[in-house]
Structure 1
Amino acid sequence: MTRTSRLAALTATASIAAVALVGCGTTDVETPATDDAAADVSATCAGDTTTTSTDPVSLTDQLGRTVELDKPAERVVVLEWQDVEDVLSLCVNPVGVADPEGYSTWVSAEELPEGTADVGQRGEPDLDSIYALDPDLIIVEAFSADDEQLQLLEEGDVPVLATVGADSAGQIDNMKTVFSTIAEALGRSDWGDQVLDEYDAHLAAAKETLADADLEGQKFLYIDGWLESGNLSIRAYGEGALMTELGADLGLTPVWTSELDAEYGDGGVNDAYGLSQIDVESLTAIGDAMIIYANDGSEENSATELQKNEVWQSLPAVQEDRAYAFPPNVWGAGGPRSNMQAIDGYVDILS
């Protein structure tokens, strides 16, 4: 996850009053000139020979809500980037997404078709924009059935599918569940199963590539950060974080334990993500562990600021050239395609 992430939007409290005002306003909304249903589907779908189901859909989403559709959804509005990526991976172009500019900046695994309608921000969508697109399904991320945004959307007459974006008990399993649930709603389960099989094969091939890398017992910490008003903030990826789980799957040993987190972490992040805000001095607690840090590739970012810091420069991993920049533009909170990119990033570093 790079300097700016969906976590900032998720942990900030959105004003339900502001959303409601947008929903009941009289703003004129223009439908984009591009017909996304007719646009080319994702290049990752080139090998798709499966057939889209036409049967009615009745499914239980991750919050235990029943979602029923007369037929699989075709005109989909998506309000979270992981779900946008998943819809594209399933060979369907959403008619509208929240913050398409941000998606195209931070997510590279799946390209959003040009002209996809902008329906506002992820934490505060524009209801007029959503309903003007005449969707047959809205996909939103929520962690509970009483989520304010979810409840507001449920007041409309369009079916709403809720996904849970993170689960520290098993991030990869949760990523797969989100993907399969969306696939079912789109009638794309056959292709969805093939994509998940491709993910498993990709991970197995990466393990084979790293078989001779002598990773047993190699401790590591993945971090990201951001600059705000010139101040550096850092997040440690601990037990239950997605990037930590990926590294462990490839043979590394996570060093940021719950004990370290209790002593050095400042919290401030939804526990479901397994992340904790820390300061640079806290990194001295990891001893000689390898450090892998997110880098968005820009000229001035949290990574370049870190390298100017004397505490950072004194860390064993830095002094011994075992602090590695992760490849830029890999979305660390995405679906199968982003996670395959992340696996490749680890392989590039570790091999």
Structure 2
Amino acid sequence: MTLRRRLALTAAAGCALALTLTGCGTTDVEPEATGSADAAVSEDCATDTTATSTDPVSLTDGVGRTVELDTPASRIVVLEWQEVEDALTLCVTPVGVADPTGFGTWISAETLPEGVVDVGTREEPDLDALYATDPDLIIVEAFAADDEVITQLEEYDVPVLAARGNNPEDPVGNVKDVFSLVAEATGRTERADQVLAEFDEHLAERAAEVTALDLPTREFLFFDGWVDGGNVTLRPYTEGALFTALGEELGLTPVWDESVNDSHGTGGLNADYGLAQTDIEGLTGVGDATLFYSNGEESGYVAELEKNSIWNSLPAVVDGRAYEFPVIWGAGGPRSTEQAIDAFADALTGK
């Protein structure tokens, strides 16, 4: 039995993008698996002393639905990687997740233990495998209460919690809100408060470092890309994208605005996630801005950039201000987001 869910991004783009490359294949599942996973292996969970609530849960999820549980959930199935990461950071191991192989490929901030059941892909979870884990809560991502994934899962007798995939008005705040939502559902609010306090402190420290730098420009652009049929497509991150917001938190100014998009974009703007599209020539529209871009080993687009004369003549490239990120999930929880903060700050400070 399968459930085909609607993607926030188009299927064609989702299968090509460097940050979501592995989420578009098919995954073999084991419906008979029961979901007896090893203990959570987040780096500091072994020494965690925060309390776990046993009180009944009544909360409003990311799309305005009321979710009530007699006790906090302990056997959760999670269909998106941000909330998988969140659970692990909270020292809660899901009994089932969508595309665990992809999670391990793209997310290094947390490690998924052995024994977690593979319940299919993020786009098309296998319901037989999912419900065989005997979950007490299923966590999904959605933007509306009538999202197809919610509507179909609500036909079964297991509560469904929907987290909002992104809030373009406050992407960093949404990372925190989703993390706190997962924590409330699992009784791990005390742990969440501790992690978020550490996150805020870390962001403030790195922002102070970047603010103190005498940079040639504070204008910046983050992008990723892919190659399709020999053509390179780039995806500039605009206002509303998490990585754009992180740059702003560090004192940088995003340069890919509506005007640049009108003159140098090639369509495909996704306002929910703050993502545009362009080609290599389109990068000339950002002038002297410093460039940051995702690791392109999987999709091969960086190798194509480096062979291109337009790329090699851009001011940021000529001046050595074009920085390739390590593999960091661009829609992760606090731990992945800290990695992105460090990638920005380390590039600029030379660490």
User: Is the shorter-chain TM-score for this pair beyond 0.5, marking a shared fold?
Assistant: yes
Identify which range, 301-310 or 66-75, moves more after superposition: 301-310
Give the structure 2 partner of residue 124 of structure 1: 124
SS at match of 2:220: strand
- In the superposition, relative to structure 1, how do residues 88 and 296 fare at CA in structure 2: closer, same or farther (>3 Å)? farther
Shift of 1:156: 0.8
Q: For each residue in 1:35-90, what CA deviation from the matched residue of structure 2 results, as whole angstroms up to 9, or x when unmatched? A: 21x52442232442111000111101011101011100000000001011001111
Q: 1:155-189: per-residue Cα shift (whole Å, max 9, x none)?
A: 11100000111111010011111111110000000
SS at match of 2:277: strand
Give the corresponding residue for 2:329.
331
**Higher mean C-alpha deviation, range 264-273 or range 85-94:** 264-273
State the alpha-carbon separation in 2 of the partners of residues 47 and 349 from structure 1.
32
Q: Structure 2 vs 1, CA of residues 28 and 234 (structure 1 numbering), >3 Å: closer, same or farther?
A: closer
Partner of 1:292: 292
Give the aligned partner of residue 306 of structure 2.
307
1:221 corresponds in structure 2 to 221
Cα distance between partner residues in 1 of 2:308 and 2:39: 48
Q: State the shift of 1:269 in Å.
A: 4.8
Amino acid at match of 1:346: F
Pairs within 5 Å for 1:194-213 = 194-213=194-213
Name 1:101's counterpart in structure 2. 101
Q: Secondary structure at the match of 1:210?
A: helix
Q: Aligned residue for 1:35?
A: 36
- What is the CA-CA distance between 1:207 and the residue it aligns to? 2.0
SS in 2 for 1:234: strand
Find the aligned partners of 1:325 and 1:59 in 2 and give their Cα distance: 40
Over the aligned positions, Cα root-mean-square deviation in angstroms equals 2.0
**Cα displacement (A) at 1:228:** 2.8
Alignment correspondent of 1:176: 176
Moved over 6 A (4+): none
Question: Percent of counterpart pairs with the same letter?
Answer: 56
The superposition leaves residues 291-318 of structure 1 with CA deviations (integer Å, 9 ceiling, x where unpaired) of: 11111445x7211111111211121111
Are the structure 2 counterparts of residues 197 and 215 from structure 1 closer, same or farther at C-alpha, using a change threshold of 3 Å?
farther
Note closer, same or farther for the CA distance 1:135–1:143 as it changes in structure 2 (3 Å cut).
same
Instruction: Quote the offset at 1:133 in angstroms.
Output: 0.5
Q: How does 1:15-164 map to 2 (within 5 A)?
A: 29-31=31-33, 35-36=36-37, 38-164=38-164
Q: How far did residue 288 of structure 1 move? A: 1.1
For residues 216 and 334 of structure 2, the distance between their equivalents in structure 1, rounded to whole angstroms, comes to 26
After superposition, the Cα gap between the structure-2 partners of 1:350 and 1:52, relative to the gap in structure 1 and judged at 3 Å, is: same
User: How many positions carry a matched residue from both structures?
Assistant: 328
Distance in 2, matches of 1:13 and 1:291, equals 27
Provide the rounded CA distance (Å) in 1 between the counterparts of 2:46 and 2:211.
31
Separation in 1, partners of 2:157, 2:330:
33
Change (3 A) 1:330 1:13: closer
Alignment equivalent of 1:340, drawn from 332, 338, 348: 338
Contact 1:139 1:162 in 2 (8 A): yes
Please tell me whether the aligned partners of residues 7 and 123 of structure 2 are also in contact (alpha carbons under 8 angstroms).
yes
In structure 2, give the amino acid aligned to 1:341.
Answer: Q
CA contact (8 A) 1:42 1:110 kept: yes
1:11 aligned residue (5, 9, 34): 9
Q: 3-state DSSP class of the match of 1:10? A: coil
Deviates more, 1:51-60 or 1:263-272: 263-272
Q: 1:41 touches 1:92 (CA, 8 Å); kept in 2? A: no
Contact 1:224 1:293 in 2 (8 A): yes
1:235–1:276: 8 Å Cα contact kept in structure 2? Answer: yes
Q: Is the 8 A contact 2:79 2:141 kept in 1?
A: yes
Gaps of 5+ in 2: 1-5, 13-28
- Answer yes or no: is the 8 Å Cα contact 2:40–2:88 preserved in 1: no
SS at 2:272 equivalent: helix
Asked whether the equivalents of residues 11 and 269 of structure 1 are also in contact (C-alpha less than 8 Å), the reply is no
- Asked if the contact 1:216–1:251 (Cα under 8 Å) also holds between the matched residues in 2, the reply is no
TM-score for the superposition, normalised by structure 2: 0.89
1:281 to partner: Cα distance: 1.1
3-state SS, counterpart of residue 272 of structure 1 = coil
Q: Distance in 2 between matches of 1:317 and 1:159?
A: 50
- What is the identity, as a one-letter code, of the residue corresponding to 1:348? D
Matches of 1:312 and 1:235 in 2, distance apart?
Answer: 15
Change in CA separation of 1:61 and 1:349 when aligned onto 2, cut-off 3 Å: same
After superposition, the Cα gap between the structure-2 partners of 1:28 and 1:50, relative to the gap in structure 1 and judged at 3 Å, is closer
1:266 is displaced (CA, Å) by 3.3
Q: CA contact under 8 A between 2:62 and 2:164: conserved in structure 1?
A: yes
**1:165 alignment counterpart:** 165
- Counterpart contact for 2:77–2:135, Cα < 8 Å: yes
Of residues 173-182 and 217-226 in structure 1, the stretch that sits farther from structure 2 once superposed is 217-226
Contact 1:215/1:252 (<8 A) preserved = no
Q: Deviations over 1:177-207 (max 9, x none)?
A: 1111110000000100111101001101112
SS at match of 1:43: coil
How big is the shift at 1:145?
A: 1.3
* 1:292 partner SS: strand
Residue 195 of structure 2 aligns with an amino acid whose one-letter code is V
Counterpart amino acid of residue 223 in structure 1: F
Measure, in 2, the Cα distance between the counterparts of 1:170 and 1:153: 28
- The alpha-carbon distance between structure 1 residues 118 and 28, as it changes in their structure 2 partners (threshold 3 A), is closer
